[in-house]
Amino acid sequence: MGVEVEVEVEVVVSSEADIVRARQQGRALAQQAGFTGTDLALIATAISEAARNILEYAKKGEVFLRIVHQGETRGLSVEAQDKGPGIPDLPLAMQDGYSTGKGLGMGLPGMRRLMDQFEIRSKIGSGTTVKMSKWTRAHG
């Protein structure tokens, strides 16, 4: 069964204020999709980290926020893309403790824990795309 998109919102990220905007938009959409309480905080935090990575490493990029459904289950999908320098060593960046908490880390393993699905593609010189989603538990 395919994933269908109900609503899509694009947030251009090129300043600190956009980080706040992206996570607030994401939170509102997640609420609309049926998420509550802790899930809203987890989703908003993951979006904040993804948007911050764009600003930090690529200066500019886009975050696409989508309410999606697969059969009866609704969810929120987040796609953060940039045309920045790319990540040289992706397996290293995905290692826990590599960057979180100290310096201006990418916090990729942390983001993966906040969401249900997480996927990253990066190519040196052409950019990075993070796709992540979370599903409501209401129907399954």
Q: Which residues of 98-125 are buried (b: 16+ CB within 10 A; e: fewer)?
A: bbbeeeebbbbbbbbebbeebebebeee
- Residue 34 near residue 136, CB atoms below 8 Å: yes
Say whether residue 105 binds other proteins (CB under 8 A).
yes
State which H helix or E strand residue 8 sits in.
strand 4-13
Say whether residue 19 binds other proteins (CB under 8 A).
yes
Sheet of 73-82, strands arranged across? 4-13, 61-70, 73-82, 127-135, 117-123
Say whether residue 70 binds other proteins (CB under 8 A).
no
Say whether residue 82 binds other proteins (CB under 8 A).
no
If the CB atoms of residues 40 and 90 are measured against other proteins, the closer one turns out to be 40
Binding other proteins (rule: CB under 8 A), the pick from 25, 70, 100, 129 is 100
Say whether residue 28 binds other proteins (CB under 8 A).
no
Distance between first and last Cα of the chain:
14
Q: Which positions ≥6 away from 96 have C-beta within 8 Å?
A: 109
Return the ∠ at Cα 114 (arms to 73 and 132), rounded to 5°. Answer: 60
Say whether residue 44 binds other proteins (CB under 8 A).
yes
Stretches 59-67, 79-87, 98-106, 130-138: which one binds other proteins (CB under 8 A)?
Answer: 98-106
Binding other proteins (rule: CB under 8 A), the pick from 3, 8, 97, 126 is 97
Say whether residue 41 binds other proteins (CB under 8 A).
yes
Binding site for other proteins (CB under 8 A): 16-17, 19-20, 23-24, 27, 37-38, 40-42, 44-45, 48-49, 52, 96-97, 100-101, 105, 107, 109-111, 113-114
